[in-house]
Amino acid sequence: MTQPLTEALFNEILLARRRVYAVREPTPLEQIDIGTTAEVWVKREDQPPIHSYKWRGAYNRMATLSEEERQRGVVCASAGNHAQGVALAAKRLGCKATVFMPRPTPEMKRIAVAKHGGENVQIELVGDTYDQASKAAKEFGAKNDLVFVHPYDDLITMGGQGTLADEVIMSGVGSFDVAYLQIGGGGMAAAVSCWLKRFMPGIHIVGVEAEGQASMQAALKHGAPIPLKELDIFSDGTAVQRTGDLTYPICRELIDEFITVSNAEICGAIRSFWNWRRRIVEPAGALGLAGLLSQKEKLEGKRVLAVTCGANMDFSQLGAIAAAAGIGGNMRHHLRFEISETGGSLLQLMRDALFDCNIVEFQYGKVDNAVAYPVIGFDAPIEVAAQVIERCAKVGIPVQDVSSNDDIRFRAIRYRANLFNHPLMLRYEFPERMGALHEFMEQIKDLANLCYFNYLYSGERVGRALVGLEFKSEADREAMLVRLKENDVLRKRHFLLSEEAAARILL
């Protein structure tokens, strides 16, 4: 570690220890079991008052202000976590802070900033991205002679963030072979790498970025920081269009490997952490874990470190995360099948190709009298999805992977109601277990054919589906109505839609 910039950062971490430790107790280092021989420890930076490590850098930077600078106040830009850190520091240090946040910032983060800062903080919502908010904040600061508290590209800010690595060293847990560090602007990754490399020289550090926001890897490829043309903000806490001028050379020097993970892998890591600790971290907070889990086969017998760096997320985002995460460590796959639009075809498809799949989503609407195109979602390893496609090929069923299609993502189920024969619309409930849908199809196969089916796994013990049945004749429809009343299984699980409700669907 010979670069002057890296040495300067190390010294800033040394200085930050006194300031930061006077404010808060260390966060815990906890061991988790990932199902391999790897010994994995997680630094719980989701636990501070603002549920993020960001308070460390913000407080450290603001604690170095002169009395005159504090009297004038500070300005910052943030998608949420850094803003909370600035708000917390402003209230504790008795100075004013103007916080610029992108307009799409989750409401709970805006509320948290106001709560932590109270009368010391004023929030300005500007632009749709962090970079737009940052530009406005810097212009405001220059106009009003205010110190701009940068969330990552400042050695003093990074010095405060590096104290989390000092706590790892001082924990007594011992040395680590590998560390997985999430990268947004690169401040935490740079500072933690700086400290770990000094005290654990043999450690292998992996920088983890999310697909669609890998600004550090773009800088490495270009040879200098460069703005991304497009930015995915799913992991909003790390969504930075351009990496820092200071963080880039430090990360380039100290980080041994850079990887990207998908949003689905991030969601899977959030789910895994819930299973381990019954705590929910935000996408940015799970980014390092996602990288770790993506390489867990390489970690057998090693001691591994990851950081859960934040837990600030709108509750409304949980549904999308759960859907993308799959169940039990599996990935969600959506396949569109082409089968005959005749009674029993779907049941035969399930027997031939999907007999060992846990179906968690079913989208289907009749659009043709001869051919049906049901979309079935199931959670399974990639190799199982490949097996399903192979089985379909053997029996001559065309199949297409539509997992990334927008119409599937937004559940845009096409159908032509004028093709439905003697339709009957109902809600159906069945136990959430493998084979339950198959059993339903067995119960109706002699009388009815599906013309509409809308089902999505919700995590409950009971699955709920909106079902459209069609019949060859009105007599078969009447016979089904009798069966729904008399069959012990169907009677308990179906709810007929009113004529008015059915009419709204069958337009």
Q: How do residues 367-406 score in pLDDT, each as one tens digit?
A: 999 999 999 999 888 888 999 999 999 999 999 999 889 9
Same domain, 185 and 298: yes
What pLDDT was estimated at residue 327? 57
Same domain, 179 and 253: yes
Same domain, 290 and 313: yes
Same domain, 278 and 292: yes
Same domain, 46 and 182: yes
Residue 80 has pLDDT above 90, yes or no: no
For the domain that residue 391 is a member of, what is the CATH number? 3.40.1020.10
Residue 90 has pLDDT above 90, yes or no: yes
* Token pair 């002679």 in the structure block, residue: 145
Same domain, 21 and 120: no
Residue 2 has pLDDT above 60, yes or no: no
Average pLDDT of span 333-347: 92
What pLDDT was estimated at residue 434? 79
Residue 316 has pLDDT above 90, yes or no: no
Q: What percent of the chain has pLDDT over 90?
A: 76
Same domain, 136 and 175: no
Euclidean distance between CA atoms 448 and 452, whole angstroms: 12
Quick one: pLDDT band at residue 329, thresholds 50, 70, 90?
Answer: low
Same domain, 294 and 351: no
**pLDDT-wise least confident of 147-151, 398-402, 503-507:** 503-507
What pLDDT was estimated at residue 399? 96
Which neighbouring-strand residues pair with 258? 207
Average pLDDT of span 155-169: 98
Q: Is 17 exposed, middle or buried (0-12, 13-18, 19+ CB in 10 A)?
A: middle
Distance linking the first and last C-alpha atoms of the chain: 70
Same domain, 395 and 497: yes
Same domain, 292 and 336: no
Quick one: pLDDT band at residue 323, thresholds 50, 70, 90?
Answer: confident
User: What average pLDDT does the chain have?
Assistant: 92
* Residue predicted with more confidence, 119 or 131: 119
Residue 13 has pLDDT above 90, yes or no: yes
What pLDDT was estimated at residue 328? 54
SS3 103: coil
Which residue among 292, 325, 358 closes a domain?
325
Which residue among 296, 325, 354 closes a domain?
325
What pLDDT was estimated at residue 1? 44
Residue 499 belongs to domain spanning: 331-505
Average pLDDT of span 19-29: 93
Under a CB-based contact definition with an 8 Å cutoff, are residues 88 and 49 in contact?
yes
DSSP codes, 251-271: HHHH--EEEEE-HHHHHHHHH
Pairing of strands 178-182, 303-308: parallel
For the domain that residue 112 is a member of, what is the CATH number? 3.40.50.1100
Same domain, 398 and 420: yes
Same domain, 101 and 212: no
Quick one: pLDDT band at residue 326, thresholds 50, 70, 90?
Answer: low
* Number of separate domains in the chain: 3
What pLDDT was estimated at residue 356? 86
pLDDT digits (tens, 9 = 90+) for 35-67: 999 999 999 999 988 999 999 999 999 999 999
Residues 6+ apart with CB under 8 A from 428: 440, 464, 465, 467, 493, 494, 495
DSSP codes, 472-500: SSHHHHHHHHHHHHH-HHHHHHEEEPPHH
